[in-house]
A and B are shown apart, each in its own frame.
Chain A
Amino acid sequence: MVKFYSSTDTYSYPFPAVTLAYFLRYPNPYSTHVLSTDTIARDFDPETQRLTTIRLHLKRSKLPSAVTKLLPRSLLGASASGDTQTYILEKSVVDVKEGWMDTESRNLEWTGVLSVIERQVFRRPMPEVPDEVKLFQGMEGAARRHGFLNFGGNGAGAKVGVDLNGETTEVESSVTLHSHVGEAWRKKRLAAQEGSSSSSEEEQPQKVGFLRSWGTATLQRNIEKIGLTRTLRSQPNAREGMKVVLERMREGGLVGVLEGMRKDREAILQGRDLLKRDGTPRAGED
């Protein structure tokens, strides 16, 4: 039982800027739930000019009450109130020559309840010209983009860089949701029936009873449905967050982005709501 969501979008920013914004997307006003981001591995291959990065994000989240109601207390433990946090592992590969960035994020906690794998592929649009010309134009484009990525944060130059290029980046997003809830218990039960080790016998009565009343498949389907609803709600926030970062880059270059991040981080530490929009779900459940 797997739920799947997918969408495509186009950013009005050149590909290199979008890849940079991806690395710089936390914190932003739409991601106040992201507590930390660490790079835990990075590998540059000079041969292929590909950069592989693995990062670990810690996000604060709230389990939907619909889920906490479905699950037994023994599984929820300290998170029975719904407040929890999740480690997200993100892997990305950037190929600047071929013009793509492939990213994948997955939750490391609660995977037994619901595993969420989010994939985003960013692509420089293919020019509709013969190969030899394409190569030449690619070089020229790269040269023009230099102003945009000026480390000194030359605001005016950066703006001109973007507007003159009119370059865009395509993004394909997909989210796969898969609930495994109950599967481990079922395996244990089968193992017990086959007469093999029954070391976890004391755990069984409650869980078996709980599953009997629901049926594993129904429970999984419900949890995936809830996850999908949440995904649909959080996707616009994720997109808006990227756009805020890209806008800051356009306005003030890299320095502008870093300054924005500093302010967001201060606000988060002080517990201020960066959006102050009533009735908006807390930016966060992506």
Chain B
Amino acid sequence: MSASLAPECNEVKERYDNCFLKWYSEKFLRGTATTDECDPLFKQYEKCLSVREPISLVRPTHHHQKVLKERGIDKMVKEAREDNRENDAEHMKPVSVPSSPS
């Protein structure tokens, strides 16, 4: 699995990623998913990322939470969630499938 930005979150990330991959391949892709079963693990992972300050190898002064806030990612995330909730993913639809010639 890929590493987390915050090394101390690697473990909880791996637990979440494994859960997600199983759910994604066994339920989501088969169209039988009813809920996101891995959400409780995601919440733990999310908490690890936002509460604790990772010892970043590359940029010790930038911790994750700061990154999310500074870069406006938290806002983008919120918007994306609202988009999805409103089922307004119209702009994310693939561009025109060529229509059959008249």
A residues bordering B, Cβ < 8 Å?
Answer: 16, 19-20, 23-24, 26-27, 34-52, 54, 56, 58, 60, 85, 87, 89, 91, 93-94, 96-97, 100, 102, 108, 121, 123, 126, 142, 145-146, 149, 151, 172, 254, 258, 261-262, 265
B residues bordering A, Cβ < 8 Å?
Answer: 1-6, 9, 13, 16-17, 20-22, 24-26, 28-31, 33-36, 42, 45-46, 49, 57-59, 64, 67-68, 71, 73, 76-77, 80-81, 83-85, 87, 89, 92-95, 97
Q: Hey, which chain B residues are within 8 Å of A19, CB to CB? A: 29
CA distance A198 to B34 in the complex (A): 57
B46 touches A87 (CB 8 A): no
CA distance A24 to B22 in the complex (A): 13
Q: Hey, which chain B residues are within 8 Å of A26, CB to CB? A: 2
CA distance A46 to B21 in the complex (A): 18
B42 touches A261 (CB 8 A): no
A16 touches B29 (CB 8 A): yes
- Name 12 extra pairs, CB < 8 A, besides A20-B25, A39-B45, A85-B58: A20-B21, A40-B49, A42-B20, A42-B42, A46-B34, A49-B33, A52-B83, A52-B89, A89-B71, A145-B29, A151-B25, A265-B1
CA distance A20 to B42 in the complex (A): 18
CA distance A145 to B30 in the complex (A): 9
Closest 10 CB pairs of A and B: A37-B2, A44-B36, A149-B25, A16-B29, A36-B5, A41-B77, A52-B84, A102-B92, A93-B92, A121-B94
A149 touches B26 (CB 8 A): yes
Q: Hey, which chain A residues are within 8 Å of B2, CB to CB? A: 26-27, 34, 36-37, 261, 265
- CB of A152 to closest CB in B, whole Å: 10
B29 touches A149 (CB 8 A): yes
Contact of B95 among A24, A58, A121 (CB under 8 A): A121
